[in-house]
Structure 1
């Protein structure tokens, strides 16, 4: 059974309705504040992007289904703050006092925002296992799509692509493995590939069988075809 967030290719969730994009297109006044608070909290260095994705996936299914996009962000942020000991549940319930937080020196100041966002958090790493696949090689994604390190844990292999036959397009280099990083188990970096899957491999009745989906998949998600 897939988890509630893994919606790709699933029936019954209704059409995808794209929303306007851009900084001026937030749907409510609190949306840019939710984005700003999430980025500022992440700059404290108490978690990584994979941990933040895991936190959103771990929301209660009923909450995940009914929350809007930024409600998911705020709910997951509250969980991360408590999980990492950055704040307590009581801290979240009451107004802040004037005492200085131990992490206050790491606060993201306005003048640093542009440079921090431009720099990002690179996930490529030197070294790691030797690449097992090369461009043009046929591979098959593992079935089921599951974290092999933590039962029920985070993975970037979508369920709709598990067990599918694809072709390696290119090697991206060696990158942090989300399945490990999301659970605080270290980078466990390994080769990352762009893999092309025909639509006919992913869906029983694709609208356009000649279409293809290109996924970035880690080496441990794949096996020789």
Structure 2
């Protein structure tokens, strides 16, 4: 079963239409939403994978109706409450207690450095099973095998399809584990090319490919 965010290849949502010269933040509060999310993430209480899963786990009606930054704020509120950093009463407008991790708060002068460092996921891990040129099949169904209904980076539209390994990226943090505080469990990550016609039933041009980065446990060999 997939969540509402897994929209690749779905009809009915309309075209993606870029806005020319669109500003980075459409509304003043969008800037604050990003700043608050960065500051809270710097507390070290969750990973980027956990943050992604929390956004994906929003109620479908909310996910479908919320704007981009509304999703960020709603998920952040859920994470803060789940990790015991704020209470539901505080979020509802009650008195705010002294924050237990206030000494770890991200200062304004440290933001640029934090953004430039990012969250590197490359780790020491097992040697890769596959090599460039190998044919592989993406696991079907596309689900988290560790946590029922959990986070996965295997898109549903690729599940069951055959692709070709183009590149081995080394071992990286496994999001299916890391999103649920089960450890980083690094495993080999590959760039896999899929024929666009195989995935969608048609393509704009013959030979068009879709490149997807997939972890080793998402894949099985094809003779």
Task: Bin the TM-score by the shorter chain.
Answer: over 0.9
Mapping of 1:20-99 within 5 angstroms? 24-94=23-93, 96-97=95-96
Q: Is the 8 A contact 1:141 1:163 kept in 2?
A: yes
The corresponding residue for 1:133 is: 130
Cα shift at 1:105: 0.4
The corresponding residue for 1:6 is: 6
Task: Answer yes or no: is 1:167 the counterpart of 2:167.
Answer: no
Q: Is the 8 A contact 2:3 2:57 kept in 1?
A: no
Q: Distance in 1 between matches of 2:187 and 2:21?
A: 33
Mapping of 1:171-182 within 5 angstroms? 171-182=168-179
Q: Give ranges in structure 1 of 5+ residues lacking alignment.
A: none
The corresponding residue for 2:215 is: 218
Cα shift at 1:27: 1.3
Q: Distance in 1 between matches of 2:54 and 2:208?
A: 33
Q: Distance in 2 between matches of 1:156 and 1:163?
A: 15
Cα shift at 1:100: 3.1
Give the SS at the match of 2:35. Answer: helix
Q: Is the 8 A contact 2:165 2:191 kept in 1?
A: yes
Give the SS at the match of 1:25. Answer: coil
Cα shift at 1:94: 2.1
Q: Give ranges in structure 2 of 5+ residues lacking alignment.
A: none
Q: Distance in 1 between matches of 2:19 and 2:133?
A: 36
Q: Is the 8 A contact 1:51 1:181 kept in 2?
A: yes
Q: Distance in 1 between matches of 2:80 and 2:21?
A: 28
Alignment RMSD? 1.4
Cα shift at 1:20: 5.4
- Given the two structures, how large is their TM-score scaled by the length of structure 1? 0.94
Cα shift at 1:21: 6.7
Q: Is the 8 A contact 1:198 1:209 kept in 2?
A: no
Q: Distance in 2 between matches of 1:149 and 1:20?
A: 42
In structure 2, relative to structure 1, the CA distance for the partners of 1:21 and 1:132 (3 Å cut) is: farther
The corresponding residue for 2:101 is: 103
Q: Distance in 1 between matches of 2:2 and 2:123?
A: 30
